Chain A
């Protein structure tokens, strides 16, 4: 990512407060992702939470989610991404936005 950005993606995300909850509010059934040729989630997620693996799957994490919902709308494979809001009081907390 550093070839494109003045600041690293980590530095960018470090500027955001996340009150991470214990349970994941995103789940991915990556057996479905293996047959997906589009994989829209990878570029659409502004937090870059979806990362393709060398064996054709997708790994994700939920901790630094902006809760925008783009992944589940962009996903064209029914049931592959299950996304909801995190538990009340958790997740992203904006300040100067």
Chain B
């Protein structure tokens, strides 16, 4: 399907760009599977360097299968698309960033704001992924990549040890290339098929659910204390009804997105369903006034590879690279929840490494080794390596329930005026809240040391 072309009408025969790609009787340089941010960044780099590249997307348009938990950090785009902020389909620029801890009926929030984040070159932005991903895929198409939608890659084609292409669900839909870049998302069937994942532990995955709630933009401005195209992102702890995970609320222009991220194995064990837990969070006094009265415009869900560095597969095979969620590159490190930037960073690195490998005529795993070097010298692997302990820490019981409970309890006692009784000392408050929340001193010290070490 030619980019920009509308999805084919039901029942009409599919146009066959795969045939056209093969028409010259030769393979293309690269096939990128998945037109999310990783895939489009890879295809963009390759096309710009003059390579023939097919970008396969199983959805009817890029981004149609994608949802997320809210913020795109754009610095990685600066080199790929200069002044991207003038054209990218952004909902709001995040100028206010909050971390909220909930316990019982209590809420304690750390609230940072800076209007500087609302001016170029900006920091974080909210966007609808179907809009954003399509925009980035269009960039790749403009550079010369052939974007083929409504086409599922069903497997890898091997010649000996070398991956030489993919099979698709189109009739006769085999496509050959020097390199295949798997950007096929959290479930990466291609990376699994290639044996790059040693073990797939459900504990490394969370289920994300989200409601997009319609509210007039003036109401959003008033409720969240922002104006114009400025917006808010709130990360929430202690809101998941005992299932390890976290929550989020963020603003779009005329919708608010509210969601939860829930440990997959714990969710599978429990008797609570995701939408029930989401409803519970929305009832909390800290959240309810932000979202009430709005109509649910769209419900969505996705799986998130949260395991970080330790959960990553082998990133390189013979003729095969893995990037983005397919390589477990989502960063879920408590206060940092990032994914789109890691996808773009890894996709672009895969594109560049593939370009060099093709130039040198060696697309074996060895020839593609530049991918790892590039990732290691960038934030993609250095952040993940540095923060590799944090995902476990955040999903631990201390961070999940006891810490929010203790923080809220300390705040309550500290700010509660109990005249004629004199104010209790801070030390006594902390000690009593530790006891109430079952936090032992040595656990607190141990976890704090881990956190300090883990956050580098």
Residues in chain A within 8 A of chain B (CB atoms): 1, 4-7, 9, 11-13, 15-16, 19, 38, 40-41, 43-44, 46-48, 66-70, 73-74, 84-89, 91-97
A88 lies within 8 A of B67 (CB): no
Residue of A nearest to B168 (CB): A88
Q: Which residues of B contact A5 (CB under 8 A)?
A: 275-276, 279
A13 to B264, CA, bound (A): 21
Answer whether residue B384 sits at the interface, using C-beta atoms and an 8 A cutoff. Answer: no
Count A-B contacts at CB 8 Å.
Answer: 143
Given contacts A89-B8, A94-B64, A96-B298, contact A69 B303 (CB under 8 A): yes
Q: Which residues of A contact B269 (CB under 8 A)?
A: 38, 40, 43
Q: Which residues of A contact B187 (CB under 8 A)?
A: 69, 85
Given contacts A70-B205, A96-B255, A97-B210, contact A87 B169 (CB under 8 A): yes
Known: A1-B273, A43-B270. 5 other contacts (CB 8 A): A40-B265, A91-B65, A93-B59, A94-B130, A94-B298
B301 lies within 8 A of A43 (CB): no
B residues 274-306 with Cβ under 8 Å of A? 274-276, 279-280, 282, 296-303
A15 lies within 8 A of B299 (CB): yes
Q: Which residues of B contact A88 (CB under 8 A)?
A: 58, 149-152, 168-170
Residue of A nearest to B212 (CB): A96
Given contacts A66-B302, A96-B297, contact A19 B152 (CB under 8 A): no
B170 lies within 8 A of A74 (CB): no
Q: Which residues of A contact B302 (CB under 8 A)?
A: 66, 68
Given contacts A73-B202, A97-B212, contact A6 B279 (CB under 8 A): yes
Given contacts A12-B296, A95-B298, A97-B68, contact A40 B186 (CB under 8 A): no
Answer whether residue B400 sits at the interface, using C-beta atoms and an 8 A cutoff. Answer: no
Answer whether residue B85 sits at the interface, using C-beta atoms and an 8 A cutoff. Answer: no
Answer whether residue B118 sits at the interface, using C-beta atoms and an 8 A cutoff. Answer: no
Q: Which residues of B contact A92 (CB under 8 A)?
A: 64-65
Answer whether residue B209 sits at the interface, using C-beta atoms and an 8 A cutoff. Answer: yes
Q: Which residues of A contact B169 (CB under 8 A)?
A: 87-88
A-B contact pairs, 16 of them (CB 8 A): A1-B275, A1-B276, A15-B297, A16-B299, A41-B268, A69-B186, A70-B205, A86-B152, A89-B60, A92-B65, A93-B64, A94-B129, A96-B130, A96-B252, A97-B130, A97-B212
Interface size (B, Cβ < 8 Å)? 57
B residues 177-211 with Cβ under 8 Å of A? 186-187, 189, 200, 202, 205, 207, 209-210
A68 to B276, CA, bound (A): 18
Chain B CB count within 10 A is highest, among A4, A19, A97, for A97
Q: Which residues of A contact B68 (CB under 8 A)?
A: 97
Answer whether residue B272 sits at the interface, using C-beta atoms and an 8 A cutoff. Answer: yes
- 8 Å CB contact of B300 from A9, A69, A73, A94: A94
Shortest Cβ gap from A27 to chain B (Å): 16
- 8 Å CB contact of B129 from A4, A43, A97: A97
Given contacts A5-B279, A74-B264, A96-B212, contact A47 B59 (CB under 8 A): no
Q: Which residues of A contact B7 (CB under 8 A)?
A: 89
Shortest Cβ gap from B297 to chain A (Å): 6
A43 lies within 8 A of B271 (CB): yes
B residues 97-116 with Cβ under 8 Å of A? none
Residue of B nearest to A73 (CB): B202
Answer whether residue B437 sits at the interface, using C-beta atoms and an 8 A cutoff. Answer: no
Answer whether residue B66 sits at the interface, using C-beta atoms and an 8 A cutoff. Answer: yes
A95 lies within 8 A of B128 (CB): yes
A15 to B303, CA, bound (A): 19
Shortest Cβ gap from A60 to chain B (Å): 15
